[in-house]
């Protein structure tokens, strides 16, 4: 993903370090969200130091379930910044399930953005 310097999962915490695009004249802090199954998950910590943004998200136990789980880190405008794909349970015979799960996650984000746009919340 563009701007991502590193992404790691360690001890149940997903950390992403990125360089955000230059601010456009406002002093608003960088905002991001974690999406899973078409909903925003609470608990994302965002810190800015020396032009770099670090996001930390502790995976809730409910995420660790059978099958493929996709978490998507987005900025305030809904652009994908990074993705975390978790596969648990039965051995995966083909990587295709992960790709399909990614497509479904992206479709969920597009549906939400379209709904927001139709309600007058988008550009």
C-alpha distances in Å from residue 73, one per residue of 92, 93, 120: 24, 27, 23
Q: What's the confidence (pLDDT) of residue 72?
A: 94
C-alpha distances in Å from residue 96, one per residue of 19, 38, 71, 85, 114: 31, 20, 17, 12, 27
Q: Which residues of 15-29 are buried (b: 16+ CB within 10 A; e: fewer)?
A: ebbbeeeeeeeeeee
Q: What is the helix, strand, coil percentage profile of the chain, to 5?
A: 20, 40, 35
pLDDT (average), residues 85-93 = 74
Query: Which residues are registered as beta bridge partners of 94?
Result: none
- Per residue in 63-83, pLDDT (tens digit) is 888 888 999 999 888 888 999
CATH number of 4-118: 2.60.40
Residues 6+ apart with CB under 8 A from 7: 14, 15, 16, 17, 82, 84
What residue segments make up the domains of the chain, in order of their start?
A: 4-118
Instruction: Work out the mean pLDDT of the chain and round it to a whole number.
Output: 84
pTM assigned to the model? 0.71
Burial of 102 (0-12, 13-18, 19+ CB in 10 A): middle
């Amino acid at each position: 993903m563009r701007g991502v310097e590193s992404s790691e999962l360690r001890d149940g915490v997903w950390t992403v370090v990125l360089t955000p695009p230059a601010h456009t004249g406002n002093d608003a802090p960088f905002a991001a969200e974690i999406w899973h199954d078409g909903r925003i998950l609470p608990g994302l910590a965002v810190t800015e130091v020396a032009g770099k943004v670090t996001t930390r998200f502790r995976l809730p136990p409910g995420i660790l379930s059978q099958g493929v789980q996709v978490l998507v880190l987005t900025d305030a405008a809904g652009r994908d910044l990074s993705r975390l794909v978790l596969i648990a349970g039965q051995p995966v015979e083909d990587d295709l399930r992960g790709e399909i799960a990614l497509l479904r996650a992206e479709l969920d984000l597009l549906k939400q953005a379209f709904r927001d746009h139709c309600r007058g919340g988008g550009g």
